[in-house]
Structure 1
């Protein structure tokens, strides 16, 4: 393979047999080398091929200033996350997580340690992603000798949540805040706590997270369930009243109008988690 661009002593850009740019990494692989010279393939430790050109460009620029060991640690965390979550991840996570690891370590070296006010909520609402964050702390400690505070697990979890979404947007924090607010509205309405280990609670939180995602994206369900909603609001008056409080909240804070279908689903899910109160 022929060098197309030298990024640093450890990283070059080349192209594969199909003419697609690839990032090649290895200790000293580019030392003393120039564009047009062959790559010593025995020195290559890692190969990165990102399909999205914009992501590849961002990742390329990131590699110029980020130590190779940080990149390898990020890749190890991402590979663990793929197995743990069993989901497709947007390639942008290679950029976002690598940049986060690099920035976090620089912060820690300057004794700047950030607290995450949503850590407990992220752990509750995204338990699998949070588990990946906890594993990431362990990997960073073992491979780089840097001990992150537990708050960092939540920050890392958010990158995986965002990478699971169809849109490469930073909605995860907002989703956690909206989910917490809606849960609090219902708790205050019924003056109770919920069994967070129950299947009904899991289903409720899952529904609310997807609802929050639609809210932030400005998507709506069609208004097709007015008749069924009328039946439900008489049968489950308390649950419907709680759903109306949620409607008022999202209307006031987000100028988002709940459809009859969304009100129906909310009422039904609230019924599920409050039926035994």
Structure 2
């Protein structure tokens, strides 16, 4: 059955906000959707290429304020990109990506046209932690470069991958970036204490990064990985340097996250650290 909505606001030729009896305000996107329409006109859901809700009032206000500063064709293109991301990830994206990615890509394209280069200090970590999001972000960058005739720095793939991960997991970019800063700090402590340089293309480095990320996630969730008393005695005796360093890392995580860390994390970190030390 065809659903009819009432237009509340024309944002531009391609985007309108309409009233729905159940969902209240709905954003409708489609080429020429707002052309020669006005407030109070009726419009069918079927006319839109994409519809989404912005339940958060702050995000809705940001989106409304953002659109006048962006080319209309770019808005339609970004929503084509979001459909591509959704299809590639095989899951629905949290609606906040409409605001975040629109804002980010508009600014990134503007930077690229002015040849302003920004590095991404967490690029290797992002690729290691979110390989699927990273590959999808590569596809997004390729499409943007071709359509907009710009060249993005490699770091842009990482930034877009974070937006995708945020939309898939419903985590805020602030929380994701906070955890990346913590992981970078932990890596610095490891390099300093073991007097080695961790090659970012090393498989053991990737395993360590993934383990630290999972340990932080477990701390956020309050999960335990169980006790291993016999293993603890062996590791403490055989690898005292790595065992003591693992405890140091756990203490840093506890202080930064202000959450308890399962003591069993020390054992698994010790194994990772010993493997790094051995291979170096």
| TM-score bin (small chain) | 0.7 to 0.9
- Cα 1:174–1:87 shift into 2, 3 Å: farther
220, 243, 246: which is aligned to 1:240? Answer: 243
What is the DSSP-based 3-state SS (H/G/I as helix, E as strand, rest coil) of the residue aligned with 1:23?
A: strand
- In structure 1, the residue matched to 2:72 is 68
Deviation at 1:158, TM superposition (A): 1.9
CA distance in 1, matches of 2:198, 2:37: 64
Give the unaligned 5+ runs of structure 2. Answer: none
- In structure 2, the residue matched to 1:22 is 26
Deviations 1:157-195 (A, max 9, x none): 221232333433423333333333434444551736569
Question: 1:220-235 counterparts in 2 under 5 A?
Answer: 220=222, 225=227, 227=229, 230-231=232-233, 232-235=235-238
Question: 1:9-88 counterparts in 2 under 5 A?
Answer: 9-16=13-20, 18=22, 20-39=24-43, 44=47, 46-50=49-53, 52-54=55-57, 55=59, 58-86=62-90
Deviation at 1:37, TM superposition (A): 1.9
Query: 8 Å contact 2:198–2:205 — kept in the other structure?
Result: no
- Cα 1:201–1:164 shift into 2, 3 Å: farther
Deviations 1:197-251 (A, max 9, x none): 64x6554322211334566x5x655697484575242344243123033235446
- In structure 1, the residue matched to 2:116 is 112
CA distance in 2, matches of 1:174, 1:11: 34
CA distance in 2, matches of 1:33, 1:76: 23
CA distance in 2, matches of 1:176, 1:85: 22
Deviation at 1:3, TM superposition (A): 1.8
Question: 1:190-229 counterparts in 2 under 5 A?
Answer: 191=196, 193=198, 196=201, 198=203, 202-213=206-217, 220=222, 225=227, 227=229
CA distance in 2, matches of 1:77, 1:27: 15
- Please report the TM-score for the alignment, with normalisation by the length of structure 2: 0.75
Query: 8 Å contact 2:17–2:26 — kept in the other structure?
Result: yes
Deviations 1:26-71 (A, max 9, x none): 34432343211234889x4522123744455544443344333323
What is the DSSP-based 3-state SS (H/G/I as helix, E as strand, rest coil) of the residue aligned with 1:170?
A: helix
- In structure 1, the residue matched to 2:94 is 90
Paired residues, number:
273
- Cα 1:192–1:138 shift into 2, 3 Å: closer
CA distance in 2, matches of 1:23, 1:257: 42
- In structure 1, the residue matched to 2:149 is 145
175, 178, 186: which is aligned to 2:179? Answer: 175
Whether 1:266 aligns to 2:248 is: no
CA distance in 1, matches of 2:91, 2:184: 25
Deviation at 1:98, TM superposition (A): 0.8
Q: What is the root-mean-square deviation of aligned Cα atoms in Å?
A: 3.7
- In structure 1, the residue matched to 2:12 is 8
- Please report the TM-score for the alignment, with normalisation by the length of structure 1: 0.76
Greater CA drift, 33-42 or 220-229: 220-229
Give the unaligned 5+ runs of structure 1. Answer: none
